[in-house]
Amino acid sequence: MRIDKYLKVSRIIKRRTVANEACTAGRVTINDKVAKPGSEVIPGDIIAIRFGERTAKYKVLSVAETVRKEQAADLFEALTPSVSLPEEAE
């Protein structure tokens, strides 16, 4: 699955366009390699996302095309304490 879609489905980032922009800006890495929006994600990968001064790391536990909101947290394991995200402009 594409990294931008995975970030949206897992609800790490709320919108796919925002996830796509983060990848394009070079703020997302998969296994310490800069990820493009179309980079593939598989279980076991470590995703790091830079949010300003902070970096959040997640381990991919599973990949699914669609999941319910309650099950989204089961797709990944947070390896760093949670990062509070700034509110997105509507």
Task: Report whether pLDDT(83) > 80.
Answer: no
Other beta carbons within 10 Å of 5: 17
| Residue 89 confidence (pLDDT) | 44
Domain 3-78, CATH homologous superfamily name and number: RNA-binding S4 domain (3.10.290.10)
Rounded CA separation 25/44 (Å): 24
Query: Quick one: pLDDT band at residue 33, thresholds 50, 70, 90?
Result: very high
Task: Report whether pLDDT(82) > 50.
Answer: yes
Q: CA-based Rg of the chain, rounded to a whole angstrom?
A: 12
Q: For residue 59, list its beta bridge partners.
A: 46, 77
Give Cβ neighbours of residue 66 (< 8 Å, ≥ 6 apart): 9
Residue ranges of domains in the chain? 3-78
According to DSSP, residue 89 is labeled P
